[in-house]
Structure 1
Amino acid sequence: MVPGQKNIILRYTLIMFIMALLAIAIIAKAAIIMFAERQYWKDVADRFIKENVIVHPTRGNIISADGKLMASSLPEYKIYMDFKAGGETKDTMLMNHLTEICEGLHQIFPDKSAKEFRQHILKGRRQKSRNYLLYPRRISYIEYKEAKKLPVFNLSKFKGGFHELAFNQRKKPFGSLAARTLGDMYPDVTLGAKNGIELTYDSILKGQDGITHRQKVMNKYLNIIDKPAVDGCDIITTIDVDMQDIAEKALVDQLKNLEAVFGVAIVMDVATGEVKANVNMTRAGDGNYYEMRNIAVSNLMEPGSTFKTASIMVALEDKFITPDYMVDTGNGVVNMHGSNMKDWNWYKGGYGKIDVTRIMEVSSNVGVSSIIDKFYGDNPQKFIDGLKRMSIDKPLNLGFVGEASPRILGPKERYFAKTSLPWMSIGYETMIPPIYMLNFYNAIANNGVMVKPKFVKAIAKDGEIIQEFPTEIVNPKICSDTTLTMIQGILRKVVSQGLAKPAGSKQFSVSGKTGTAQVSQGKAGYKAGGVSYLVSFCGYFPSEAPKYSCMVSIQIPHGPASGGLQAGSVFSRIAERIYAKHLYQDLASAKDSTSIIIPEVKNGDLREASYVLQNLNIQSNSSSIPKSSTPIWGKANCTTTYAELKRTNTEKNLVPNVRGMGAKDAVYLLESKGLRVRLSGTGKVIRQSLNAGSYLHKGQTITLTLN
């Protein structure tokens, strides 16, 4: 061995041994980090960076046809306190500012006194709670921001302890109005919609989720956006809030009088098919009526005598009859293939020999069934084909969950007894949702053009229309012009001279048909557990130039039953109030050439006063009021010849002067400043409990006296 070689080998071996030990130590440490200390280091990492945090977008609004907000997503909060956060420094600050904090909370939440808040906070402090609920109910965003301004609460949650839990809630400003048409959301709105327009247009309303990651930079946490959330679009419906309200009130009043099981009222625009009102009320266990199901589109019902119109139209179209075709209805009872067909007045001796027009006026079962059995008894399929030619059974695919389609089945689809045809002709042995029946009458009003009922007219984004839904034609001509003219004349006489007189009006003419049907209990028959009835009226108005069609259906658990009296009277109230809503008259016709009429103008939003004055051609300075998307507050000084509008300033922190305003403007202005409003009386404001110009404190209650 070469001298010195032994020393080199020793040194080399030592180095290799040390390196092996280091490698083993590194591997061992890595193993400890990966397994034994994995959760610790993961928690450390999470404090600095958190990947793929989902950011939920704001759900779009649902807006009425007249521009009113019907459903919107609004944040709500529950507020908590961590009494251990911030240590002794925070605790000292809390006790030093406790009186100020409790007074502030009382101003924001007047239902609890400052003393109650003090006792409540001290209780949480004694418990040293880390998640102590400060206020029992959810609060609005405005209330949350006010609370966040209070001492200690304005610090970060790690220093002050004040923190919140956010909820994104779906709110309906008009309460239950059109609730079933609009639809419901799950309590956790991120789970989506249950039904109605909310579900049908869920993909449009909900928007798209965004993604962020949270990273700690220089002792501060930053939310870094990887993919921005895209807020949902707004849905503009065809529902008119005023018409919906008119229809609901008229229907519910009658339902209460009749102690009815349920009721439906639908109003459609004849030319466009836009559904202006859709009311679906069901009696609950407490005796009150609520929108539980969209009965108009989901319930299959035997339509009763409203179906006679379709039966007579088939015979008119096939040229078997004319309006003056005579039928001997005898004493009101006729044997139809072994079963008795009866008119409602059979016990009075019936109607005898009457023509088709009169048959429809008095809704004669014997008259209609005799015609259909005579001309179609040997070939029932020809009658069924005639009905289908008018598209009365064609699925409309409205998009609602649970939507039903008509069942009008002929010899090709089911067993067809000899009695099936006559009973089908008067509205039995067929099942049709109310909106389909209305759509058929709407086509008669629309010169034979059947359009698809429409619940949504447009999609909007940031106030701009991005998609409109045009009127869809289901059938361009349900019958010939001759048949259409004849049936329109008959339906008008049904109201003016027949059993449907209660559906008419002294102000305008109405056309339509009543319906009264016993309700089938399925296999149990029609009389199991007592007889219940479906009374209805379906028609349109004004007869000369139809603008709206409407159907009212009510199920009552007892007799006597009358479609004209019980459903037709509801139709009349709805039609007259809608007609009055759209009644415009020239002011010139109400004054002579020497009259000078300047109406009394209430104080308030000058934009509305300006609009009215200009449209009535009243001398004023209304043109000086600029167009604006926000209210322009002011007052009006009126003389016998001129109306002067003057703008007034409303200071942010002062109670405004609302004397002379109507209730709507006064409440809007005061609530926008954070005050709670109580009203007494009607008319315009003559007194306010908080003096104008005094400093306001949000959450205060102000009482307005109107006269």
Structure 2
Amino acid sequence: MAVDDKHISYRIYLVAVFIFLMAIAIVVKLTNIQWVEGDYYRKLAKQRTVRNFVIPANKGNIYSADGSLLATSVPNYEIRFDAKTPKTETFEKYVKALSDSLVTVLGKSGSYFEKELRKARTNKNRYYLVARNLSYTEYVKIKGFPLFNLGAFKGGIIIEQETVRKHPIGKIAERTIGYDRIDPATGIEVGKGIEWAFKSYLNGKDGKILKQKIAKGQWKPIRDVNEVDPQDGFDVISTIDVFIQDIAHHALLKQLETYEADHGCVVVMETETGHVKAISNLGRGEDGSYYETTNYAIAESHEPGSTFKLVDLMAILEDKVADTSTVYDTHGGEIRYYGRAVRDSHRGGYGKISLARGFEVSSNTVMVQAVYDNYKNNPSKFVDHIKNFGLHKTLGLHFKGEGRAIIPHPGDKNWSGVSLPWMAFGYSVSVTPMQTLTFYNSVANNGVMVKPQFVSEIKEWNKTIKKFDVEVINPKVCSEETVKKLKAVMLNVVKRGTGAKLYSKDFSMAGKTGTVQVNYGKAGKEGMYYASSFVGYFPADHPKYSCIVVVHKPNTAKNNYYGADVAGPVFKRIAQKIFTDAPSTNKIKKLDSRIPKQDNSYNEYYAKAEKKVKQIPDLKGMPGMDAIALLENLGLKVKVNGVGKVKKQSLQAGQNISKNETIVLELS
């Protein structure tokens, strides 16, 4: 018995020792948790129960120059259904009514929705899609339908909201307005146009609010104030004019469809400021429709063809190596350099004609001779002119993806004997349509080259945050004498040259046609094709707008691909519509000048009105409106028959006035 008691005592001691050691371990662990690892566990607990939530900033709007909304942020709603949440009796009570209600917004039949909702419940679908891309009005309406109006925990409605960017004017100028978003595939920020270039102003700064986790996975704000208040983005005021944009877009679209062209672009720019009032870039899709695809006007650098001949003429006139009256022989429409032919589009040539006339009819033989004969011994001098005109570098626009110019220079590996003559008629060089337009605009602007602008200012409500002033690239590309001569020959291009079909006595235009073989000598799908262009300005005498139109790959089966026939009509349509449809902005002169007859009439009325009259005045001969005002001020009620001046009055002059008495006036 004693032995058994002894064994029991040993066991009790062992248990006590074990409990003691456990107690020590617990104390050590608690001490470690409290003092050694305390900060870590407190931080972990806080992360799981307290979290900072982002408060998205409202993105700024983009407006046109005339105040129209080009881009804005609107809430977009998606509604889903947790089919497992509602109780069976609740679901059965409301499912029919909910299905019938959804018909009013989503259009499909009630039986379809009832079938789908029941199927979702059978499958225990906790995330069934009811509708997406809903407006706020549609969301509120659906939220109030039977079953859904019971909320998330009884009715099973799940609401997801996101902010999307909308373009109220549709697809017009979509590439220029652009976008700024995160690529879901890569997580990298991507964007184009104004949205991307001015994102630092538009996006604003997100705020933060601290929330604590409560029952059922919900989060509740800890404080009444935000940790960081969101700062809304600023508004961007673009230079685009919706009226001109609409004209340019549809004029280009019509011509692309007529000639079944591959793509094209048009830009309209304000001469003095460089403000781009319209820009359209349309490419043909597989279905034959045209869409805003690549920003061709800015990104596509290609051989310009005959529109480059203005560079020739400006350089020649500035160096005074020839004049507009200098005569050249077109040699039957063909001349050769190093075994390669330069031909005029007009078979047989033009005989002997002046340099000015050669420009007007776009004679390749004349312009090439003028350049080659005067610069063959020093081609660098001609190339330096091109660089001085700024055509060798990008314009430095806010947009990314601006096309780069290619201007060969003596000493380059690709320079050869034919480089200089080929440059003279717009081959072997490459520029973007926007660069070409900027150069032509400098002539319209009397030699001042200004940078194209797409945004005029940044605003916060009515407060201007930043204003973009006119930026001069080159204050004087050439002399005033040269500008006058260039303007004269470009006017004659339309009057009697290659653009004669565009001439109208009702409004004046000046410019240059261009037709070029793109990818010359290449074959296959990306082989040679024609690009037609027209660039110039209007009105010719006092230029307000410059414009360029480029149409790529018109269908040659139409038997026409020349600039005057394909691109020219777009230019004319734009100029014509702006001239005839734009509201008049003429100021009324001498608005504040005094007219004696009006002054006398007013003084006569005022003198009578000021008198404390107790008797009916003699109103004969007084204008009806003045008589009514006078009598009503005297407390009388007035009835009028006819229009004009007072001929008769029912209450005779000199009669005492009784308030609220009625007097009848007959007017002549």
TM-score category by the smaller chain? 0.7 to 0.9
One-letter amino acid of the counterpart of residue 203, structure 1: S
Residues 175 and 466 of structure 1: is their aligned pair in 2 closer, same or farther, counting only changes over 3 Å? same
One-letter amino acid of the counterpart of residue 391, structure 1: G
Q: CA deviation at 1:465?
A: 2.6
- Indicate yes or no: 2:252 matched with 1:257: no
- Indicate yes or no: 2:140 matched with 1:139: no
Uncovered stretches (5+) of structure 2, i.e. residues with no partner = 1-14, 35-40, 589-624, 626-641, 645-668
Counterparts of 1:528 and 1:121, CA distance in 2: 52
Counterparts of 1:529 and 1:560, CA distance in 2: 21
Match of 2:666 in 1: none
Residues 193 and 152 of structure 1: is their aligned pair in 2 closer, same or farther, counting only changes over 3 Å? same
- Indicate yes or no: 2:220 matched with 1:222: yes
Match of 1:572 in 2: 572
Judge conservation of contact 1:170–1:185 (CA < 8 Å) in 2. Answer: no
Judge conservation of contact 1:238–1:456 (CA < 8 Å) in 2. Answer: yes
Note the alpha carbon deviations across 1:66-116, whole angstroms, 9 max, x for none: 222222222212211223336x4xx4344334444334333333x123343
Judge conservation of contact 2:95–2:147 (CA < 8 Å) in 1. Answer: no
Note the alpha carbon deviations across 1:602-632, whole angstroms, 9 max, x for none: xxxxxxxxxxxxxxxxxx9xxxxxxxxxxxx
Judge conservation of contact 1:192–1:199 (CA < 8 Å) in 2. Answer: no
One-letter amino acid of the counterpart of residue 584, structure 2: Y
Uncovered stretches (5+) of structure 1, i.e. residues with no partner = 1-13, 34-39, 589-619, 621-639, 643-707
Counterparts of 1:306 and 1:238, CA distance in 2: 26
- Indicate yes or no: 2:420 matched with 1:421: yes
Match of 1:509 in 2: 508
Residues 41 and 115 of structure 1: is their aligned pair in 2 closer, same or farther, counting only changes over 3 Å? farther
Match of 2:484 in 1: 485
Query: Secondary structure of 1:553's partner?
Result: strand
Select which of 186, 199, 204 maps to 1:202: 199
Query: Secondary structure of 1:154's partner?
Result: helix
Query: Secondary structure of 1:227's partner?
Result: coil
Note the alpha carbon deviations across 1:222-255, whole angstroms, 9 max, x for none: 2353222222222221112222221121112111
Counterparts of 1:536 and 1:252, CA distance in 2: 15
Normalised to the residue count of structure 2, the TM-score between the two structures is: 0.77
Judge conservation of contact 1:519–1:526 (CA < 8 Å) in 2. Answer: no
Counterparts of 2:370 and 2:643, CA distance in 1: 68
- Indicate yes or no: 2:168 matched with 1:168: no
Residues 269 and 529 of structure 1: is their aligned pair in 2 closer, same or farther, counting only changes over 3 Å? closer
Query: Secondary structure of 1:282's partner?
Result: strand
Matches within 5 A, 1:351-362: 351-362=350-361
Note the alpha carbon deviations across 1:566-624, whole angstroms, 9 max, x for none: 11111111111122232539999xxxxxxxxxxxxxxxxxxxxxxxxxxxxxxx9xxxx
Match of 2:11 in 1: none
One-letter amino acid of the counterpart of residue 223, structure 1: P
Q: CA deviation at 1:213?
A: 2.5
Match of 2:101 in 1: 104
Q: CA deviation at 1:537?
A: 0.5
Match of 1:233 in 2: 234
Counterparts of 1:277 and 1:204, CA distance in 2: 23
Counterparts of 1:297 and 1:143, CA distance in 2: 40
Counterparts of 1:161 and 1:218, CA distance in 2: 17
Structure exhibiting the larger radius of gyration computed from Cα positions = 2
Judge conservation of contact 2:182–2:189 (CA < 8 Å) in 1. Answer: no
Residues 226 and 233 of structure 1: is their aligned pair in 2 closer, same or farther, counting only changes over 3 Å? same
Q: CA deviation at 1:462?
A: 3.6
Counterparts of 2:480 and 2:586, CA distance in 1: 36
Counterparts of 1:506 and 1:554, CA distance in 2: 26
Query: Secondary structure of 1:263's partner?
Result: strand
Residues 340 and 467 of structure 1: is their aligned pair in 2 closer, same or farther, counting only changes over 3 Å? same
- Indicate yes or no: 2:143 matched with 1:148: yes
Counterparts of 1:586 and 1:454, CA distance in 2: 25
Q: CA deviation at 1:275?
A: 0.9
Residues 247 and 482 of structure 1: is their aligned pair in 2 closer, same or farther, counting only changes over 3 Å? same
Judge conservation of contact 1:235–1:460 (CA < 8 Å) in 2. Answer: yes
- Indicate yes or no: 2:177 matched with 1:182: yes
Residues 256 and 574 of structure 1: is their aligned pair in 2 closer, same or farther, counting only changes over 3 Å? same
Match of 2:647 in 1: none
Q: CA RMSD in A?
A: 3.3
Note the alpha carbon deviations across 1:404-461, whole angstroms, 9 max, x for none: 2322222144443222111101111110000000000111111111000011111122
Matches within 5 A, 1:311-326: 311-326=312-327
Query: Secondary structure of 1:395's partner?
Result: coil
- Indicate yes or no: 2:276 matched with 1:310: no
Normalised to the residue count of structure 1, the TM-score between the two structures is: 0.73
Residues 282 and 641 of structure 1: is their aligned pair in 2 closer, same or farther, counting only changes over 3 Å? farther
Matches within 5 A, 1:4-15: none
One-letter amino acid of the counterpart of residue 379, structure 1: N
Note the alpha carbon deviations across 1:19-77, whole angstroms, 9 max, x for none: 764342355689999xxxxxx99999777x33133333232222222222222222212
Query: Secondary structure of 1:134's partner?
Result: strand
Match of 1:385 in 2: 384
Note the alpha carbon deviations across 1:115-144, whole angstroms, 9 max, x for none: 433333233333333222223x32122211
Residues 389 and 104 of structure 1: is their aligned pair in 2 closer, same or farther, counting only changes over 3 Å? same
Match of 1:116 in 2: 112
Q: CA deviation at 1:384?
A: 1.1
Judge conservation of contact 1:492–1:543 (CA < 8 Å) in 2. Answer: yes
Query: Identity percentage over the alignment?
Result: 38
Q: CA deviation at 1:502?
A: 3.0
One-letter amino acid of the counterpart of residue 75, structure 2: P
Residues 581 and 26 of structure 1: is their aligned pair in 2 closer, same or farther, counting only changes over 3 Å? farther
After TM superposition, the structure 1 stretch with the greater mean CA deviation from structure 2, 391-400 or 374-383, is 391-400
Judge conservation of contact 2:405–2:432 (CA < 8 Å) in 1. Answer: yes
Judge conservation of contact 1:342–1:366 (CA < 8 Å) in 2. Answer: yes
